[in-house]
Structure 1
Amino acid sequence: MKIPVVDFGVYSLKEDDVTDEQLDAVGEEMKSAFIDVGFVYLKNTGISQEEVDRVMDISKKFFLQPEDLKEPFRRGGFTQNCHHGWASLETERLNPLRPSDLKETYNVISVHSDMKWPSEGAAAGFQEIQTSFFLRCKDLSLRVLRVMALSLGLDPEVFLSAHSLMGRERNLTTLRTIYYPPVDWDKMKEGQLRCGEHSDYGSITMLFQGTNDGLQIHSRSGEYISAPCIPGAVLINIADLMQRWTSDQFVSAVHRVLLPPAGDTSTRQALAFFAQPDDDALISCCDGSNKYPPVTSGAFLEMRAADQYT
């Protein structure tokens, strides 16, 4: 099994004149992928590889700084949002049965100008580049959510109205830049991965990968399949709240990032945009069933995030 690739050109960020027939066609392709796999590659979205490379470049410059220069931006140190900021190596453990993950991250949740941002030396331009890309991803995610709703025969506002506060208070949508440093093979713990097995929490995730592979998806047949880097494409997956929202029509698939081959000291980068409903949005089954009890987005996400950090 392979992850399908869908051309999103008719509704890319560069296109505003799209017909219902075109939306129906692309929606059917995406719907099939989300039902069967839970993941889909979208090409021709309007977000260029150059934009992605720019964010990865400034992010890597931040991560390669000495730890004392990163410490002021640690996650938990922002009064405006406790989830915003930097998490050091082995801070997160996405699979609680494994040792902590071998990655560093920086979460951009608020795009308010009054946040404290890295700005000195190698990190000059960090705020502008990150916030600009956040807003581009926000716009694309809303288009994707619209097509998803239409593919299920729903009013698009069912999804769109619940995502009105992305980038502002009372919404935990996150642009996460991820750096997997060279593996220190002498210090490896048994069972340790770059990122342990997990499913995402919110509505959808949009992932932009660097040049090195390692991501695997757990398929419905019970095997892991590779999700290789496709330059210029974004990999989109269903997250847990969306699976509840659609009464299991769309699948939130478990995934992981493996270590490179033994002795390999290469790095890996990725950018993940986690689209989350507004904190107060009440998520109930959109087919009118009671398969899952209603839950607010904020309560569900806080519950899931509590197990993530060591």
Structure 2
Amino acid sequence: MKIPVIDFGAYSLDEKEVPEEPMHNLSRQLKAALTEVGFVFLKNTGITQKEMERVLDKSQEFFQQPDELKRPFSWANFNNPNHGWVFNEEERLNPLRPPDLKECFNVGLLQPDIKWPPVAEFWEVITSFFHRSKELGLRLLTAMAHSLDLDPQVFLGAHRFVGTNKNPSIVRLLFYPPVNREKVKDSQLRCGEHSDYGTVTLLFQNNEGLQVRTRSGEYIDVPVIPGAILINIGDLMQRWTSDQFTSAPHRVLLPAAGASNTRLSVAFFLNPDDEALITCVDGSNKYPPVTGHAYVMKRIYASLQ
């Protein structure tokens, strides 16, 4: 099985609206991918390879700094796990494994007057990317609603405050440093098996290492497709759609023995508003109602050491 690749050009950020027939074709392909796999590559989204590389460059500039220069930007200093630096082995996404061999910088607060890393144009580049990813995410939600014959406001109405303190959506910069095999703990990975928490995730990556679990339980390698964005369903969206859309587990493996390569990626986690009440769209009681804030923050705190 391979992860499907879908041309999103008809509804890219460069288009103001999409005619009925292209939307029908797009939503049909999305439904097949998100119900059968839970992951899909989107190409021709309007977010360019140059934009992706610019964010990855700023991310690398931050992570290359010594830990003592990154420590003032720890999430603990913001008293908010949705914003700030998460140091190597501070997070454990699979509770059955040792902590993950990765660093992160979460951007959930966008105000220019808070403390930002001393990286040139860091705030400008990351916040611009946040808003571009947000707009693409909302377009994706519209197409997803169309694929289930729903009014788009069913999804969009729960994401009115993305980019404010009333919504926990974030841009997450991820860095996987070189691995010293002599120090790796038994069963430790760069990122343990997990599923994402919220609505949808947009992932931008510069090299391989990510694997996705198929419905049969097999893990498959995820390629890097220049210019394409990897999309996956989060657990809240699976609940919301009564399991019509699939939130698939995924992980990041250690590099091959003897390899010293690093890995960079940037994820945009689109989450429902804090007070949005998520109930099954089919009217069933398959999952109990839950607010976006209660569900997402519970999962975040559970992952931290």
Q: TM-score range by the shorter chain?
A: over 0.9
Q: Secondary structure at the match of 1:237?
A: strand
**CA deviation after TM superposition for structure 1 residue 178, in Å:** 0.4
8 Å CA contact 1:76, 1:83 repeated in 2: no
Partner residue in 1 for 2:74? 74
Q: Which position in structure 1 is the counterpart of 2:168? A: 172
Q: Does 1:295 align with 2:295?
A: no
Rounded to whole Å, the distance in 2 between the matches of 1:76 and 1:228 is: 34
| 1:142 aligns to 2:101 (yes or no) | no
Structure 1 residue 274 corresponds to structure 2 residue 274: no
Give 1:114's aligned residue: 113
2:152 is aligned to 156
Change (3 A) 1:296 1:17: closer
2:83 is matched with 84
Asked if the contact 1:112/1:168 (under 8 Å) is kept, the reply is: no
1:124 to 109, 120, 127: 120
Give the 5 Å matches for 1:95-106.
Answer: 95-106=94-105
**Does the 8 Å contact 2:192/2:252 carry over to 1?**
yes
Instruction: Give the Cα–Cα distance (whole angstroms) in 2 for the partners of residues 291 and 188 of structure 1.
Output: 41
Give me the identity figure in percent: 58
The equivalent of 1:259 in structure 2 is 254
1:189 matches 2:185: yes
Q: How far has the Cα of 1:76 moved from its partner?
A: 2.1
The separation in 2 between residues aligned to 1:242 and 1:91, in whole angstroms, is 27
1:292 CA drift (Å): 0.6
Tell me the matched-pair count.
305
**Aligned residue runs from structure 1 range 206-285, under 5 A:** 206-210=202-206, 212-285=207-280
Partner of residue 4, structure 1: 4
Q: Give, in angstroms, the shift of residue 82 of structure 1.
A: 4.3
After superposition, give the CA deviation of every residue in 1:170-218 in whole Å (9 maximum; x if it has no partner): 21101001010111112111101000000000000010111x2111101
- Mark the runs of 5 or more structure 1 residues left unpaired by the alignment: none
What is the Cα deviation at residue 114 of structure 1?
2.2
| Contact persistence 2:82–2:170 (CA under 8 A) | no
1:205 aligns with 2:201: yes
User: Aligned partners of 2:18, 2:33: CA distance in 1, in Å?
Assistant: 22
Alignment partner of 1:90: what SS? coil
Q: Which residue of 2 aligns with 1:45?
A: 45
> Where does residue 62 of structure 2 map in the other structure?
62
**What's the secondary structure of 1:264's corresponding residue?**
coil
Name the SS of the counterpart of 1:217 in structure 2: strand
Q: Which residue of 2 aligns with 1:32?
A: 32
Offset of residue 83 of structure 1: 2.2
Contact 1:206 1:272 in 2 (8 A): yes
Secondary structure at the residue paired with 1:158? helix
AA partner of residue 217 (structure 1): V
Give the conservation status (yes or no) of the 8 Å contact 2:81–2:301: no
Give the match's secondary structure for 2:27: helix
Q: Deviations over 1:212-268 (max 9, x none)?
A: 211110100110111111110000000000000000000000000001111110010
Q: Secondary structure at the match of 2:77?
A: coil
Shift of 1:307: 1.4
Give the secondary-structure state (helix, strand or coil) at the position aligned to 2:101: coil
TM-score by length of 1: 0.97
